[in-house]
Amino acid sequence: MKTQTPSLRSQMLTSLRKHRNRTTASLAEERGAGLLVASYNVHKCVGNDGRFDPERVLHVIREIGPDVIALQEADQRFGERSGLLDLARLHGETGLTRVPVQGLPKSHGWRGNVLLFREGVVKQVRPFVLPGLEPRGAVVAEIDLGEGRDLRIIAAHLGLLRWARRKQADFILDLMRESTDCPTVLMGDFNEWRLGSGSALTRFEPLFGPLPPPVPSFPARLPVLALDRIMANRPGLIGAMHVHDTPLARMASDHLPLKAWIDLEQAVEDGAGV
């Protein structure tokens, strides 16, 4: 029997109901246990008011308080691709350290993808050019969190063209097949909300298992589309998942940050991946 996927209209109605019922108290209830990871498209630090303001983005990251966060569009897109955030200040205020990527000297990351972590040692980092017409990329980092806990993070920003997203998903899956023994979290702006045979999202299921329920994150003022995703190659590795929905986050970028709690103890018990 053919599985029906939610229509855009039904997703909009659901999002409107959740937005209307949301309170500050519900944000506090979202706090979970484990490693807090987040993905945030900062829209080159241009907010919904059209104003370039990196300060607001820094405040939102402080609000989240992540252990690991993947940023998209954190560098200029052209020219020297200069970074747009004060990472030294961010480190001083949050303890977050940039995963170093060999690239243009003024960039924070790789093709706009910046990966930051609070604790641990980076064992390996590899930047990749994703196929397609747009300048898209992915960063793969393996982090030793201590006590025998390793975590691989794949931070990616997929393209606007549907055929390109499918090719980019296949490229990431090929990277995963090189080594499936490490608990892996894939996160970023996938620019995809549809499911089905033509969707880039569905292509991830052979290695990442059934997709977590969609969490609308775009547009920030009234999110109806789940363009941002966090998924893992271990069942039970991801616990609670929510958007970070605050007044400042609704203004600082056109995306809301997506955050999830990672249970590495569960990953160790489960052993092999999906």
Query: For residue 268, what pLDDT is reported?
Result: 53
Residue 267 CA, chain-centre distance (Å), reads 19
175 in a structural domain: yes
Mean pLDDT on 46-59: 97
**Domain interval for residue 130:** 34-270
26 in a structural domain: no
87 in a structural domain: yes
The pLDDT confidence band at residue 28, using thresholds 50, 70 and 90, is very low
| End-to-end CA separation in angstroms for the chain | 24
- Which of 149 and 63 is assigned the larger pLDDT? 63
Torsion of CA 99, 242, 159, 104, to 10 degrees: -20
Q: Is the pLDDT of residue 21 over 90?
A: no
Q: What is the pLDDT of residues 163-200, one digit of tens each?
A: 999 999 999 999 998 877 789 999 999 999 998 888 99
How many domains does the chain fold into? 1
Question: Domain with 40 in it: what CATH number?
Answer: 3.60.10.10
User: 């959740």: which residue's tokens?
Assistant: 18
Q: Is the pLDDT of residue 207 over 80?
A: yes
Mean pLDDT on 56-69: 98
Q: What is the DSSP letter of 136?
A: -
Query: For residue 274, what pLDDT is reported?
Result: 42
Q: Is the pLDDT of residue 43 over 50?
A: yes
User: 């659901």: which residue's tokens?
Assistant: 14
Query: For residue 106, what pLDDT is reported?
Result: 82
Q: Is the pLDDT of residue 2 over 50?
A: no
| Cα three-residue angle 68-162-245, rounded to 5 degrees | 40
22 in a structural domain: no
What residues have CB less than 8 Å from 89, skipping those under 6 apart?
Answer: 58
45 in a structural domain: yes
Q: Output the average pLDDT for the chain.
A: 87
Q: What is the DSSP letter of 47?
A: -
Mean pLDDT on 78-93: 90
23-32, 61-70, 197-206: range with lowest mean pLDDT? 23-32
The arrangement of strands across the sheet holding 238-243 comes to 97-98, 114-117, 68-72, 35-41, 258-262, 238-243
Q: Show the tokens assigned to 82.
A: 């200069």
Is the preceding omega at residue 219 within 30 degrees of 0, hence cis?
yes
16 in a structural domain: no
User: 């569905």: which residue's tokens?
Assistant: 202
Mean pLDDT on 54-63: 98
Q: Is the pLDDT of residue 24 over 60?
A: no
The pLDDT confidence band at residue 14, using thresholds 50, 70 and 90, is low
78 in a structural domain: yes
Mean pLDDT on 87-102: 94
96 in a structural domain: yes
Q: What is the pLDDT of residues 104-158, one digit of tens each?
A: 678 899 999 999 999 999 999 999 999 999 999 999 999 998 877 899 999 999 9
Q: What is the pLDDT of residues 229-256, one digit of tens each?
A: 999 999 999 989 999 999 999 999 999 9
Q: Is the pLDDT of residue 3 over 60?
A: no
